[in-house]
Chains A and B, each alone.
Chain A
Amino acid sequence: MSLLSLNHVSVGYGQNTILKDLNLNVEKGELVSLLGPSGCGKTTTLRLIAGFLQAKTGQFLFNNKNYTRVPINKRHFGFVFQNYALFPHLTIFDNVAFGLRLRKMDKKTIEKKVRDILQIVNLNGFEKRFPAELSGGQRQRVAIARALVIEPDLLLFDEPLSNLDANLRIAMREEIRRIQQELGITAIYVSHDQEECFSISDKVAILNHGMIEQIDQPKAIYQYPKTEFVAQFIGFKNFITCTKRDIHGNEAVFSTTHGKFRTKMSPGTKSETSLKLAIRPEDIELYTDIHSDTTGENFLTGQIQLSTFLGKSYQYKVLTPLGVFHVNCSSETQPLAVGTTINLFFPMDKLVNVD
């Protein structure tokens, strides 16, 4: 049994339904990220779990108990807000001690717990300051400490690092991961930053229009997106629409109007009707010499339409009979001129079959 499960939950604001039929399972000790385009319902999902919003239908189980109607203050979850939501009239010490005092602990215990947690987030010595006297990164850490110190059953993060600069972001995400693993806390983490999600999560859930399109380990999602939306979202820019699929053992051959493409069967074989192939721009190989070795299965001929310098690489827009492809090539080689006819090679282990 999972620690947390959302079963067929729908949530909305007024008449507007945001989450239609959400299902999510989180195991104890896991850090699960929610990733998706702006407005897809990530914050809404977190707020639902925290109890700030009520489900219209469906059920929220936590620890085998029905939490659907449990009030916020009885849930014992920590919430880290995007804008920190520190109490401006209280010192850092009092901010962190807020939850402990409500639990009627004695003074000594509170003092010890606050000092310990401030130690963990590297903020000892700041107890007497007020939130307005801290930097963004420091406030962020106070917000995390305040949520952590009550030893919550679940920790919810809503884009906790979005207001920080790039370096601090990387340092803080490692910090969050370290603390989460050290204390064995189950956490749900929302972010816009894919790298952030992939680097700190045990599992990533990709949301689209209030539905989870795919939930899996970061590596699995990165290599084998299940749907076209997920593929698109994580950087597969090229799609091939095929007409037929033949399976031979653990390989599959896809037919198109212009040639055949052989791929490895990805884990979780798709249904007969999924006839889309996806590949990242950096995974397509490009050949300028056209002869019998560079034609046939998994090859496609095209013409360069546009060349863009991206720093690390050049991106070519290549027009082929199967549509436009984006191909990235190392910028160390001589750039190819617009109009050059070239051959594209699609390595079979990089070509992914998606719904």
Chain B
Amino acid sequence: MKKNKAYLFLLPGLVFLLLFMIVPIILTISSTFKDQGQISFNGYIEFFKNKYFIQVLMNTLKVSLMTTLLCIVISLPVSYYISRIHGRMKSVLIALSVFPLLTSAIVRSFSWMIILGKNGLLNEILMNMHVIREPLNVLYTPTSMIIGLVHLFLPLMIISLVGVMENISDDLVQAAESLGASRFVAFRKIIFPLCVPGLIVGSILVFVGSLTAYTTPALLGGKQQVISVYLYQNAMTLNDWHAASIVATIMVAVTFVIVGLMNLTASKLNPRGENS
């Protein structure tokens, strides 16, 4: 059999993707550059003049960035621990850490509402312990959005990091320690730089996920709008598909820019990504 013929097997998948993904994306994007049959950038200019939209965009970026950073901070020790143990305990911990992905976004968000609400669990506990006198306003703030998103996307970061950390041999840490490094320094100077590829993959997944998430910010964000909710309102409530398409295009562009920036950082941090 000729080697070229093997590509035939890719054909069904390619046709499917072309028809149902590439073509609609191109149609959506190209439609944003048209105004009454003529090519124009008016839609974009108006959008970027709109203070409210800029605020929503910034808000979204801030929330996504915070979510990503928090996921990194929480995942580093957790993933390191999981990557160093063996046997059944390891499978159990991995299963537990992906658990949030298995529950519905609505159920998850409602649980956070119960916990974070004005008369919720958190405030009740803190008031009973006399830590605070007035109930905290956590729900329907960026904080509650970030909490919900971290909960949702932590598994992606943990799994990405466990993947790279498993391939880092114990000998490297022991070599560093025998040269005088404490556990912490060995982690910072050896494990962390070798994790950068996984860190980048995890960050891209979490960041893009947070940027485009709808249910969690819609339920936990209250009046605090993010770009996906804004998009939904334009399309479904205001029935302004032209505006919605422009928002969608901006989201795609922002995503590409951020992913590109992350890859750039990665190649700076870790000139030789390979572990040997």
Given the interface pairs A99-B179, A99-B180, the reply to whether A132 lies near B174 with Cβ below 8 Å is no
CB contacts (< 8 Å) of B177 on chain A: these are 51, 71-73
Residues of B within 8 A of A85 (CB): 169, 171-172, 174-175
Chain B interface size range: 20 to 34
How many A-B residue contacts, CB cutoff 8 Å? 72
Would A73 and B174 be within 8 Å (CB), given that A87-B190, A132-B272, A132-B274 are in contact?
no
Given contacts A85-B171, A87-B190, A89-B270, contact A79 B275 (CB under 8 A): no
Write the A78-91 contact mask toward B (1 if CB under 8 angstroms, else 0): 11010101111100
User: Is the CB–CB distance between B174 and A52 below 8 Å?
Assistant: yes
The residue of chain A having its C-beta at the shortest distance from the C-beta of B269 within the complex is: A89
Q: Which residue of the partner chain B has the closest CB to A130?
A: B272
Within 8 A of B (CB), among A297-351: none
A79 contacts B270, C-beta separation under 8 Å: no
Binary CB contact string for chain B from 154 to 178 against chain A (1 if under 8 A, 0 otherwise): 0000000000000001011011111
**Quick check: A73 and B182 within 8 Å, CB to CB?**
yes
> In the complex where A85-B169, A98-B179 touch, is A72 in contact with B274 (Cβ < 8 A)?
no
A173 contacts B by Cβ under 8 Å: no
Question: Are B179 and A89 in touch, CB under 8 angstroms?
Answer: no
**Contact of A89 with B194 in the complex, beta carbons under 8 Å:** yes
Q: Mark B170-209, 1 if CB is under 8 A from A, else 0.
A: 0110111111111001000110011000000000000000
Residue in A73, A81, A131, A147 whose CB lies within 8 Å of B276? A131
CB distance from B265 to the nearest CB of A (A): 15
B179 and A102 contact, CB distance less than 8 A: yes
Asked if residues B185 and A88 are in contact (CB atoms below 8 Å), the reply is no
Complex CA distance for A155 and B169, rounded to whole angstroms:
21
A78 to B179, CA, bound (A): 7
Of A73, A81, A146, which one neighbours B181 at CB under 8 angstroms?
A: A73
Contact of B185 among A51, A52, A81, A102 (CB under 8 A): A102
> Which B residues form the contact surface with A (CB < 8 A)?
169, 171-172, 174-182, 185, 189-190, 193-194, 270-276
Q: Hey, which bits of chain A sit against chain B, CB under 8 A?
A: 50-52, 71-73, 75-79, 81, 83, 85-89, 98-99, 102-103, 130-132, 146-147, 150
Closest 3 CB pairs of A and B: A99-B179, A85-B171, A72-B177
Return 6 A-B CB contacts under 8 Å, by A number: A50-B174, A51-B178, A75-B178, A81-B171, A85-B175, A147-B178
